[in-house]
Amino acid sequence: MTTTTPQFSAPPTRQTSISAWAKKNLFGDWFNTLLTIVSVLVLGWVLTTLLSWAFTSARWDVIPSNFKLLMVGRYPVNLLWRIWLSLAVIMGLGGFSWGVLSRDTRLLDRRGLIMLGILSATLVLVLALLTDPVSIAISLGLIILLVGMAFVGQQIGRVQPQLGTWLPLLWLFGFIVSYALVRGLIFGAPVRLDDFSGLLLTLFAAVVSIVLSFPLGVLLALGRRSELPIIRWLSVIYIEVIRGLPLITILFASQLLVPLALPGYIRTGRVVRALVGLTLFSAAYLAENVRGGLQAVPRGQTEAAKALGMNPVLTTSLIVLPQALKAVIPTIVGQFISLFKDTSLLTIVGFAELLGMGQTVLANPEYLGRNGEVLLFIGLIYFLCCSAMSWASRRLEKQLGTARPTVLPPDVAGEAA
Amino acid sequence: MRKWLSLLLATLLTATIAVACASSNDTTAGGGGGSGTSTLDTVLSRGSLICGVNGQLPGFSFVDSKGEYSGLDADYCRAIAAALFDDPSKVEYRNLSAQERFTALAAGEIDVLIRNTTWTINRDTALGLEFEPTTFYDGQGMLVTKASGVKDVKGLSGKSICVQSGTTTEQNLTDRFRKLNIPFTPVVFDDEDALYAAFTQGRCQAATSDRSQLTARRKSLPSPDNYVVLDEVISKEPLGPAVRNNDSKWADAVKWIIYGTFQAEESDITQANLSQSESSTDPEVKRLLGKEGTLGTDMGLPNDFVARVIKHVGNYGEIYDRNIGKPFQLERGLNKLWTEGGLIYSPPFR
């Protein structure tokens, strides 16, 4: 190990000119040049074909005239205000948490503005599809509510900084309230869970199975590392059996075998059966993700906790789990995103969730053969939801400060040692 | 750290609450089939009919832009509800996949299965279903271009025919052409969309499938008027409702509601002229509409059940034209009344 002063050269100045950047990155050598040309040609061809189809031959009227159907399915029209109200609860909560979480920074920094821009752009798209002025007014109101609540949340968050800790409970409460609203448990005229359809069912299935599979997955992961052999083996068997089965098999079993296997007097809703299937499936994968995190926590942490006299429960809940979960946020969110997309498999077992509703719309003789338009629209919705989730996870990672710490140059590390 | 604890607490709480909600609120309507009680009584006491449908089949059952179920199958669900409750909206539709349909019926999750189901001996006996009168005689047909001038199956001699692989359709095609001793080249596809794309590009001179599907597909082709579905049918696909075995009371009720729509067409009773028909002096019409006799009450239905069906849904001809005839320009063919050479035939109402 040399002890001379480390030779750090000044960081290279960034080439800001576009042509220089392009020369370096796109036309570096003959292979890069070739690759660039081919990619541009292919991209250009795909884009022009798609765009010319979208603006000339596609007949988009199928979307606005079935918009309500795709969103909330056959939810009674005269009860739609309940959906709006629960949306308002969620938007308000979203704004509030946004405000509380960014209490120490400016609310509308560059990133916040970009997000708001994307949200507004989506809204403009939705507005273009809606012809009903009331819905447009309500949507605008919701955005204003979001921003308004964000400012309120920021102010409150500055006064009560510990409020951030209670946000998950607040969300739980908000979820229960909006669920009760949609189901009609608060204001009369209940709507059966089995009558949920469209995006409403997709979101409901995704949210419930995500929220339920998380604790189950954590418990399974802990069980798999348990020192009690029975618990360990049960967890291992559960995880390996479920991971060995395709999700569609589990869904079919939940829809076909369960009602036959249960005695006649026990009746379960089919949505509940599907949710159980999704949750059990996802929990097994989640358990393995969490186990990865648990293994990444150094032994020293547990030993230090023991040395401080903490009992195993406290050690796990205060020392090991927080670090383990932090480490695997990206994979957990990845699992959630794929669970969200997996809800589209419900179509195969006869649910009219977003994709199933799309197929129902396509069966309308008026709209036969509009597969491209409808499927593209559905794809867009899935994309928006998934990218929102991954954006949120990146924010969460940053918030918890788990983004990879800047690695010291080896020389410096060596010198320090 | 507190953050994580509260998050965990929150999720656990949600878990318990959601499970509690889910289990307490989900009252799936139970079917009868059990000891002694007929599904008819179950349905009447529940106040609504649970009808298993496809939900994604043009002309038979789909959700229209207003969010209402529409199609021939859906109309028969509505007809049963109209007969029982004088209100066609008292139906809970249940979308079912092809695999799920018989289980759902057997497990009592639905009262009646009206999901373009072909009546076969195996399903009627081994599967424990009770089939009701056929409401649509489908059959495998041929889609050809008008320009080809092909008029019947024999005209396809030596031509190539697009067919979906692994289906009974493929089997039927081979069987029929071998029987007729006509040479042909099958062009096999896994995917339905690919099949019709190849057909429009001229890779085969004919596409074969069930006629109801062919007509629906024809309408979605770029220029539907250039194509024609041949009148000839090469397989039997009688589609109709089914209920559980060993429940004659319910099976009879559904059966005679369907026959009522057939008989009404035969007796020229339509939605429009129902009020005139009700004052008719023809004893047959009077019996049918429940003005005379006790045909309805004898089987546990309201006496005017046919009149209710006609009032809300219409007779068979009207149902057919509204869902299949008008949207797809499909000739009635076998689905004509027996008096006009078809198979739609109701036993007498007396």
* CB half-sphere exposure, A46, CA atoms < 13 A: 5
Whether A318 sits inside 8 A of B18 (CB atoms) is no
pLDDT value of position A128: 67
Q: What would the pLDDT profile of B248-261 be if each residue is shown by its tens digit?
A: 999 999 999 999 99
User: Do B55 and A360 count as a contact with CB atoms less than 8 A apart?
Assistant: yes
From the list A208, A270, A364, which residue is nearest B64 (CB)?
A: A364
Work out the minimum CA distance from A83 to partner chain B, whole angstroms: 16
pLDDT at B4 (0 to 100):
54
Q: Check whether B60 has a pLDDT greater than 70.
A: yes
Q: Where do the domains of chain B lie? A: 39-137+238-340, 142-235
- Inform me whether the pLDDT recorded for B328 exceeds 90: no
SS (H, E, C) chain A: CCCCCCCCCCCCCCCCCHHHHHHHHCCCCHHHHHHHHHHHHHHHHHHHHHHHHHHHHCCCCHHHHCHHHHHHCCCCHHHHHHHHHHHHHHHHHHHHHHHHHCCCCCCCCHHHHHHHHHHHHHHHHHHHHCCCHHHHHHHHHHHHHHHHHHHHHHHHHHHCHHHHHHHHHHHHHHHHHHHHHHHCCCCCCCCCHHHCCEHHHHHHHHHHHHHHHHHHHHHHHHHHCCCCHHHHHHHHHHHHHHHCCCHHHHHHHHHHHHHHHCCCCCCCCHHHHHHHHHHHHHHHHHHHHHHHHHHHCCHHHHHHHHHCCCCHHHHHHHHHHHHHHHHCHHHHHHHHHHHHHHHHHHHCCCCCEHHHHHHHHHCCHHHCCCHHHHHHHHHHHHHHHHHHHHHHHHHHHHHCCCCCCCCCCHHHHHHHC
Measured at the alpha carbon of residue B198, what is the angle toward residues B197 and B199, in degrees to the nearest 5? 90
B264, B271 in Cβ contact below 8 A? Answer: no
B-chain CB neighbours of A166 within 8 Å are: 6
Question: Which of A77, A66, A92, A136 lies closest to A367, judged by CA?
Answer: A66
Q: By C-alpha distance, which of A112, A85, A87, A83 is closest to A99?
A: A112
B67: left (phi over 0), alpha (psi -120 to 50) or beta: left
Option in A169, A356, A365 nearest B59 (CB): A365
Q: What was the pLDDT predicted at A127?
A: 67
Q: Using an 8 Å CB-CB cutoff, list chain A residues near B8.
A: 215, 218, 317, 321
Q: Percent of chain B having pLDDT more than 90?
A: 52
Q: Contact B169/B208 with Cβ under 8 angstroms?
A: yes
**Model pLDDT for residues A135-182, shown as the tens digit of each residue:** 778 888 888 898 899 888 888 888 887 887 888 899 999 999 999 999
Structure tokens at A4: 């001379």
CB-based contact, A38 to chain B, within 8 Å: no
Provide mean pLDDT across the span B209-229. 85
Q: Mean pLDDT throughout A193-203?
A: 91
Query: Which residue in the set B8, B104, B219 is minimally distant from A365, CB to CB?
Result: B219
Smallest Cβ distance to A212: which of B15, B56, B67?
Answer: B15
* A282 within 8 A of A260, measured Cβ to Cβ: no
Q: Which of B118, B42, B48, B57 is nearest to B78 (CA)?
A: B48
Cα–Cα separations (whole angstroms), residue B267 to A201, B272, B336: 46, 13, 14
**Residue B18 reports pLDDT greater than 50:** no
* Domain spans of chain A, in order of start: 65-191, 197-290+323-402
Residue B10's pLDDT is 53
Altogether, the residues listed in chain B come to a count of 350
- Nearest partner of A75 among B110, B68, B97, judged by Cα: B68
Minimal C-alpha gap between B321 and chain A (Å): 13
Fold of B39-137+238-340: D-Maltodextrin-Binding Protein; domain 2 (3.40.190)
Q: Is the pLDDT of residue B8 over 60?
A: no
CATH number of the A197-290+323-402 domain: 1.10.3720.10
pTM of the shown model: 0.82
* A256/B99 CB distance under 8 A: yes
pLDDT digits (tens, 9 = 90+) for A19-51: 888 888 888 888 889 999 999 999 999 999 999
pLDDT at A378: 94
| Per-residue pLDDT at B21 exceeds 50 | no
- Is residue B120's pLDDT more than 60? yes
Closest CB to A363: pick one of B6, B57, B103: B57
Q: Given this model, what pLDDT does residue A4 score? A: 58
Tell me: pLDDT of A336 over 50. yes
ipTM of the complex: 0.77
Residue pairs spanning A and B at CB distance below 8 A: 161
Judged by CB atoms closer than 8 Å, whether chains meet at A369 and B220 is answered as yes
Residue A114: band (very low, low, confident or very high) from pLDDT cuts 50, 70, 90: confident
- Find how far residue B24's CA is from the centre of its chain: 34
How far apart CA A132 and CA A114 sit, in angstroms, is 28
B11 pLDDT higher than 70: no
The confidence band for B143, taking pLDDT boundaries of 50, 70 and 90, is very high
Output B64 or A137, whichever has higher pLDDT.
B64
- The pLDDT value recorded for residue A405 is 47
* Report for B34-48, B145-159, B300-314: range of highest mean pLDDT: B300-314
Q: Is A397 on the interface with B (CB under 8 A)?
A: no
What integer best gives the mean pLDDT of chain B? 86
Give the residue from A65, A251, A267, A346 with the most B CB atoms within 10 Å of its CB, the best one to mutate: A267
Return residues 311-370 of A near B (CB < 8 Å). 317-318, 321-322, 325, 348-352, 356-357, 359-366, 368-369
Q: Which CATH class is domain B142-235?
A: alpha beta
Domains B39-137+238-340 and B142-235 belong to one CATH topology:
yes
| Mutation to test the A interface, candidates B95, B101, B200, B221, most A Cβ within 10 Å | B95
Q: In the structure, what pLDDT confidence band is assigned to residue A131 with cuts at 50, 70 and 90? A: low
pLDDT at B24 over 90: no
What is the overall mean pLDDT for chain A? 85
Please report the pLDDT score of residue A413 as a whole number.
43
pLDDT at A400 over 90: no
Position B242 pLDDT exceeds 50: yes
* pLDDT reported for residue A22: 82
Question: In angstroms, rounded to a whole number, what is the distance separating the alpha carbons of residues A64 and A373?
Answer: 11
User: How would residue B32 be classed by pLDDT, with cut points 50, 70 and 90?
Assistant: very low
Q: Which token pair is B128? A: 């424990």
Distance from B40 to chain A by nearest Cα, in Å?
18
Structure token digits, residue A311: 């009992």
pLDDT, tens digit, for every residue of B263-309? 999 999 999 999 999 898 999 999 999 998 899 999 999 999 999 99
Lowest mean pLDDT across A87-91, A308-312, B132-136, B148-152: B148-152
**Picking from A304-318, A339-353, B45-59, B217-231, which range would have the lowest pLDDT averaged per residue?**
B217-231
In this prediction, residue B7 has a pLDDT band, given cuts at 50, 70 and 90, of low
Chain A hits for B18, Cβ within 8 Å: 208, 211-212
Q: Between A12 and A145, name the one with better pLDDT.
A: A145
pLDDT at A190 over 50: yes
Amino acid at A411: D
Asked whether residue B2 carries a pLDDT value surpassing 70, the answer given is no
